[in-house]
């Protein structure tokens, strides 16, 4: 274990039938404390040092929160360019799951070369969108080379088309029903098709289905109002909305897609819906990047939300793993309070969507239970390492007898 900590998941079962779940965390939760006493400029210098995988989403949320607290007006063009960087990061994170994790579930070799190529795009997009490649600062300025940015989008799309969709990305984007999906799966041996076929063949499409709903979109003022009523330390560790746990994953963003909506009506928030949701979001990101680039000159709709209230700034950004919230309070132009609520806090809440999903598992053996649990955790995707421990309560009773 490293200082980054991990999530500890204890799953009790009887011969593969889940009987109880406990989730604990060793993740450090005081990181935002280093921001206390800093100016907004210093905050924005510090945030990129603290976070890695979701660095763009974290830095953008911090910038939006700082701007809101300072009463600086939104800049639609700048925000579209920033959203492009968050989208590139989201694509990379989804590709990580698909290229490195999914093959392992079906006995194939991970494609590290393609992922290594994807990692290089972040710096290229920053260079083609922002002056000196520096985004997410109060004094950052756009310096867009549209031709080169478009070329990068084309190259990114070609890379995922080859490495993930076996050249059939365009066909995949046309899918709107499960029947069409089955045909697509029959006709190709792309890497994700292997995993999806595996889930269907094991009859695991609905595995993990549970009643924890996706968090509805919240007005920033409303969210801020609730947070002001809460003990913020407790809320940051175990967030809820009106006393209930909610899911904040990529599924929140994909339920409006016809293919995902159709599957959701049949399998709820089960495994196949989650896996496909990731694939669908990834497939459309190059398209979305083109839209954002084209619209930068057309005063686009704001992609993220922030609001100001007496030196308080709150921002909501859709990061790869789900909703990311930054809230800060300035007093005399320095940070008096700073809170970061990452999607993992909602999704791996002790009573949250992963806990409830694991409780629903009914496998034929403890080996299958382990595999189902790993697939479900991977699909919801914590941002830190996790340790899954299975205990057969029947054996435990026998052992204690």
Partner 1 sequence: MCLALPAQIVALDPATNMATASVGNVKVEVSLALVDDVALGDYVLVHVGYALNKIDEDEALKTLALFAEAGVMNGYPCHAPFG
Using CB under 8 A as the criterion, which residues of the chain lie in contact with partner 1 when the complex forms?
1-4, 27-28, 30-31, 33-34, 46, 49-55, 58, 112-113, 115-116, 119, 340, 342, 344, 383-385
Exposure pattern of 88-114 as b/e (b: 16+ CB <10 Å)?
Answer: bbbbbbbbbbbbebbbebeeeebbeeb
Residue nearer to partner 1 on the CB measure, 204 or 348:
348
Least Å from the CB of residue 88 to partner 1: 15
Residue nearer to partner 1 on the CB measure, 28 or 71:
28
Residue nearer to partner 1 on the CB measure, 168 or 334:
334
Least Å from the CB of residue 103 to partner 1: 13
DSSP 317-350: EEETTEEEEEEEEEETTEEEEEEEE-HHHHHTST
Give the whole-angstrom CA distance, residue 153 versus residue 147. 10
Which positions ≥6 away from 327 have C-beta within 8 Å?
65, 224, 227, 232, 312, 313, 314, 315, 337, 338, 339, 341
Residue nearer to partner 1 on the CB measure, 47 or 196:
47
Residue nearer to partner 1 on the CB measure, 13 or 349:
349
Least Å from the CB of residue 250 to partner 1: 16
Residue nearer to partner 1 on the CB measure, 101 or 368:
101
Least Å from the CB of residue 344 to partner 1: 7
Least Å from the CB of residue 320 to partner 1: 10
SS in 3 state form for 286-303? Answer: HHHHHHHHHHHHHCCCCC
Least Å from the CB of residue 104 to partner 1: 12
Give the whole-angstrom CA distance, residue 333 versus residue 71. 12
């Amino acid at each position: 274990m490293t200082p980054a900590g991990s999530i500890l998941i204890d799953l009790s079962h009887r011969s593969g039938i889940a009987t109880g779940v406990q989730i604990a965390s060793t993740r450090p939760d005081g990181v935002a404390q280093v921001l206390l006493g800093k100016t907004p400029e210093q905050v924005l210098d510090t945030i990129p040092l603290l976070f890695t995988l979701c660095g763009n989403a974290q830095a953008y949320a911090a910038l939006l929160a700082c701007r809101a607290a300072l009463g600086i007006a939104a800049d639609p063009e700048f925000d579209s360019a920033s959203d492009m960087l968050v989208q590139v990061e989201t694509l990379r994170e989804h590709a990580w799951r698909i290229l490195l994790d999914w093959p392992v579930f079906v006995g194939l070799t991970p494609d590290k070369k393609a992922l290594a190529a994807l990692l290089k795009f972040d710096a290229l997009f920053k260079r083609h969108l922002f002056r000196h490649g520096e985004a997410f600062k109060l004094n950052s300025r756009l310096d867009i080379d549209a031709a080169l940015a478009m070329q990068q989008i084309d190259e990114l799309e070609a890379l995922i088309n080859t490495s993930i969709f076996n050249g059939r990305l365009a066909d995949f984007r046309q899918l709107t029903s499960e029947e069409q999906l089955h045909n697509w799966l029959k006709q190709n041996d792309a890497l994700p098709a292997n995993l999806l076929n595996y889930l269907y063949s094991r009859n695991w499409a609905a595995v993990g289905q549970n009643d924890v709903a996706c968090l509805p979109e919240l007005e920033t003022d409303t969210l801020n109002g609730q947070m002001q009523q809460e003990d913020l330390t407790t809320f940051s560790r175990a967030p809820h909305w009106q006393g209930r746990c909610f899911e904040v994953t990529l599924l929140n963003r994909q339920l409006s897609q016809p293919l995902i909506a159709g599957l959701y009506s049949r399998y709820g928030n089960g495994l196949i819906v989650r896996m496909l949701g990731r694939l669908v979001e990834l497939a459309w990101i190059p398209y979305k990047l083109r839209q954002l680039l084209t619209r930068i000159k057309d005063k686009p709709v704001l992609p993220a939300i922030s609001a100001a209230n007496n030196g308080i700034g709150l921002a909501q950004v859709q990061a790869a793993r789900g909703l990311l919230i930054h809230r800060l309070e300035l007093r005399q132009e320095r940070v008096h309070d700073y809170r970061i609520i990452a999607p993992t806090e909602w999704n791996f809440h002790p009573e949250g969507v992963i806990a409830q999903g694991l409780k629903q598992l009914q496998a034929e053996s403890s080996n299958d239970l382990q595999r189902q649990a790993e697939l479900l955790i991977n699909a919801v995707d914590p941002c830190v390492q996790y340790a899954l421990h299975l205990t057969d309560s029947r054996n435990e009773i026998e052992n204690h007898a």
